[in-house]
Structure 1
Amino acid sequence: MTSTRLVPVETLHRIVEIAARAPSVHNTQPWRWRGGSRTLALYADTARRLPHTDPDARNLTLSCGAALHHAQVAAGALGWQTRVARHPDPDRPDLLAFLDLSPGPPPATADETLAALDRRCTDRRRFTAWPVPEERQSHLARIANHWGARAVALTDESERFIAERLVRRAHQLQWADPVARAEQEAWGHRGGDDGLPPDALPGGPDLAGGHPHRFEGAWEDRTATDLETSDGLLVFFDTDDDPAAWLRAGEGLGAMWLAATTAGLALVPLSQVIEVPETRAAFQTEVLGSLAHPLLLVRVGWRSTGRPPPARTPRRPVSEVLELD
């Protein structure tokens, strides 16, 4: 007997379309969705993992966590409540989450939320010189923590100095690694619905001079020497360094990014300091006091209101990432 479909196909398409706008490492969009009569299942698309710079799939899982956050928020705004089971099947490590959908009243802010999800993107251009108050940074961290992640603002001058030094070192090591550079460049000129088109980068397609780019095509857009004192720095961390912690951090990142977008702030993740084993270990010791594992460093600043919006990175069509039962 065929089960009655509770959630319309058009709604599942809309939720996945919005979720697919989430940031992902090098705009790899490493997710797959499967829709049932009242469910959505999120799978990691391991074929899109970066094997050299992301061998453990940490960034891949973070990316999927951000998409999971966007899916939950989009569903709520469209009038569907979600119950989420994370890593529901130990025998299926690629099955990251299972969402059960039920009708519910949309929040009063539904239209504003959907508009913010549509606007959210990585602005890789220079921030304005206005400093981000510590309370603003702490507020963003609290929003991420509300989603189960662990994040904190780095406001101590010595911690910021160490973090910036390690970001610089990570850039140097990856830029000197021909395999890492080749992996980066392979996603930089794909010319399709994923990867990083040259016009999405500040300064165009020329990556000479050691300016590698990562999340959403670019997790970061500048070397550490360009980090300004007005920039805020926040770190995601956890006592565990495993897929469950990475997925939580990704959900927190999605929540933080959406809140930053609503507040007129720009957020750019700095992933390389975590990708390089040497700098990841140093960050854990010198910044976190060996009490937790660093998962992602992010930079935040005020967007300029006097220039046009940044170029958007492309997205794969829903038909490629959603399979219906």
Structure 2
Amino acid sequence: MRVLGIETSCDETGIAIYDTEAGLLAHCLYSQIKLHADYGGVVPELASRDHVRKILPLIEDALQAAKLTAKDIDGIAVTRGPGLVGALLVGLSVAKSLSLAWNVPMIGVHHMEGHLLAPMLEAKQPEFPFVALLVSGGHSMLVNVKAIGDYEVLGESIDDAAGEAFDKTAKLLGLDYPGGPLLAKLAEQGEAGHYQFPRPMTDRPGMDFSFSGLKTFAANTIRAADNSQQTQANIAFAFQEAVVDTLIIKCKRALKHTQGKRLVIAGGVSANIYLRAQMKRLMASMGGEVYYPDLAFCTDNGAMIAYAGAQRLLAGETTSADCRAMPRWPLDTLAAIEL
């Protein structure tokens, strides 16, 4: 089965074609970073309009890259939520139209399920069950994954997600948008021992996350410090260390709770080099393994949507043409599937 994947949940237009026998055939991505940079964050109306401009040309590019035509597509997978409602509607509208025009089934995919299953695009795939840490700009979540669709949310962010805290702290440091990757780069020049940031919600039981207080602590620290490059690097180092330490502590709790030995880390923040190094060290100490998607599939992309959708289409699941976008959509409401 060849599935066209469409991702338009926020500020990236992702298109891909996945073959359930041959694997990923094509992957095209357009980022709106330059469009939103002047505003210091995503402007929903501008994001929606840009998706309208880019989505059809990218679909044509993907078909051409895969050396296929519309007649070769067996199904369409599209992000239904969560995300910005206007952006979601663009992808859904196109998916519904193509589904009718090409006479193929459509499946609405949960954006976070796409991230969760993104490591399945790699040659070395994790076996079920595993614990997944989903860390992106909008979500921080720990999930006990027993099978596709069989998800138990162990903990999630109650305010700012990890990626959001990275971006907001980067902005406080005067870094350009999007600031998370730039903060991580600046932290490479920082030195340990100059600042001690709190590890939020680690002094109490549970696996929920809260990074708004850490962001406030960073703001106060930045305000009181001098503006030298080294001082900024030291603050970036301490902030990143605090976020990663917090994620490690929560992951360790989740693995002990589930008695698991496999950890999947996905979402935009999973590209962070320091996070990857520390998680590798954690899993080595616990006699387990950690899995990531390729760097190209850490941020929002069509490949993860095509893969997740393909699994559900293979199981006989489809979404009707009158479905609505779901800007808020709890992950643990999804149905489990058997392949």
Range class of TM-score, shorter chain: under 0.3
* TM-score, length basis structure 2: 0.26
The TM-score normalised by the length of structure 1 is 0.27
